[in-house]
Amino acid sequence: MKKNKRVLLALDYTSMDETLINYTEYIIDILSPQSITVVHVIQDVFTDGIELRKNELNYSQDINDYVKSLLEIRLQETKLKTHEAFSFNLEIVKGSPQHVLSEKMQSGDYDILIVGCKKAPWNSGSIIRRVAHNIHEDIMVVPEGVKNDIRHILVPFDFSDNSQRAFEAALKMKQTLKDVLISPVYILPKYRMGYYSVEKESEVFNNYYKQIAVTSWNKYLDGIGEDMCEYTLKCVNSTNKNTSSLIYESAWDMGVDFIMIGAVGKSNIEKVLFGSTTERFVDLNKEFPLMIIR
């Protein structure tokens, strides 16, 4: 996670905004941004893609100005607007949230996108997923109602370059959050004989791969100059559940409050592309703030 990031914060003028604004204020010192741009996308299903007449254009501009004035009132006393360490900008844009956010991130003007994730059952996170498919920058997903507190970070780790970047991004967060605990989690490969799992052989297989994983982990820590005693690799046995579900269960079991995940990885047993493990996790997760590292 680079410092001096140019942050794009997506609001929608719902109750989700309060969580997003508060959480972004909380992590300002961690991100050390050089600029924050707040964008609100106004959707209009009736006029998208249609050339507007002059009076309709004026009406559209009036709506933009009205929404902007409301957001300026909401943001005027926040650290986002008053902090002197970075520049602040507010934009109101008409269109599809997916397309607007994708285009802005693809422009090269921003390094990280911060978006909210509502807990409503019909909110599948499809916009987040589609935007993530189109961009190559980091994304932070903040669930609705989350607390402003990071004490324990989970990092799914499969020894790929991307998972290493995620772990090293967590280490950079620790430079600011001195007492934060970082827990790397490795999902062991699944043992199968034919179409069936065999319990006894599976236990031997798990122990074998756990030894390899721990040895590789200690070698990796030594290579980056980190203390082997401070960061212990947690190995999780595979079950009939998919990898994203096992990561999610581990997060609950370990009581973490932040997850740092690499967007693309490659393990011994499967290729973890955005579109499989990370994508499923975005759909599944409605509880933990998530940083997707590119």
What pLDDT, on the 0 to 100 scale, is given for residue 251?
96
Give the number of domains in the chain: 2
Q: Verify that 243 and 171 share a domain, yes or no.
A: yes
In terms of domains, do 122 and 178 share one? no
Residue 15: φ, ψ to 5°: -60, -20
Which of 33-42, 55-64, 156-165 bottoms out in mean pLDDT, i.e. has the lowest? 55-64
Decide: 189 and 238 in contact? Cβ < 8 Å.
yes
Are residues 136 and 56 located together in one domain of the fold? yes
Burial 225-239 (b: 16+ CB within 10 A, else e): eeeeeebebebbebe
Say if 82 falls within a structural domain.
yes
pTM: predicted TM-score of the whole model, two decimal places:
0.86
Backbone angles phi, psi at 163, to 5 degrees: -70, -30
DSSP state of 233: P
Q: What is the mean pLDDT of residues 94-114?
A: 93
Handedness of CA 17, 20, 22, 24 (dihedral sign): negative
Dist CA 271 CA 279 (whole Å): 13
Same domain for 53 and 84: yes
**Mean pLDDT, rounded, of the chain:** 84
Radius of gyration of the chain (CA): 21
- CATH code for the domain of 81: 3.40.50.620
State mean pLDDT over 77-84.
90
Q: Give per-residue pLDDT as tens, 139-179.
A: 999 999 999 999 999 999 999 998 999 999 999 999 999 89
The answer, yes or no, to whether residue 58 has pLDDT greater than 80, is no
In a domain, 1, yes or no: no
Average confidence (pLDDT) over 241-248: 90
Show the domain range for 93: 6-143
Q: Where are the alpha helices (DSSP H) in the chain?
A: 16-31, 54-75, 79-82, 97-106, 126-134, 161-176, 199-224, 243-254, 277-284
Q: How confident is the model at residue 94, as a pLDDT?
A: 87
Per-residue model confidence (pLDDT) at position 156:
95
